[in-house]
Amino acid sequence: MKNTPSSSRLEAKIQVTIKLEDKVQTYKINSSYFNLRDLSSFEDCPINFCCSNCHCGACLIRVVDGLSNFNLPDSIEKSFLDSLGAGSDERLACRSQITGSVTIEPVMV
Ligand code: FES
């Protein structure tokens, strides 16, 4: 069963904003740590998660804001991003953990 965006009364610690053309989707996370792969549980998430393990590139995102809140890419992700010709502001959502609010755009739609 898919989740819907949080409407908890608890104050969100992290906000994930996804921009896609003229639409903006915001997810409020009541944690100080979040794995972007878990966005796949939200039924309205516009990011495609296919393999969820650094093989397909479907989850490629461009970081619009909050790059410093991301974990550093490990050697496997770095190598795959290089093979895709990804920019320094691009990451694989399935390999990304964040510790603060971010704004991202899906690259593959
Ligand atoms: S879902 Fe395949 S690389 Fe992220």
Per-chain mean pLDDT for the chain: 91
Neighbours of 102 (CB within 10 A): 24
Q: Can you give the pLDDT at residue 9?
A: 57
Atom of ligand 1 at shortest distance to CA of 94? Answer: 4
Domain boundaries, the chain: 14-106
Q: Can you give the pLDDT at residue 10?
A: 62
List the CATH code of the domain at 14-106: 3.10.20.30
| pLDDT tens per residue across span 47-88 | 999 998 899 999 999 999 999 999 999 999 999 999 999 999
| C-alpha of residue 9 to centroid of ligand 1, in Å | 32
Q: Can you give the pLDDT at residue 7?
A: 46
| C-alpha of residue 78 to centroid of ligand 1, in Å | 13
Per the CB < 8 A criterion, the answer to whether 28 and 12 are in contact is yes
Atom of ligand 1 at shortest distance to CA of 54? Answer: 3
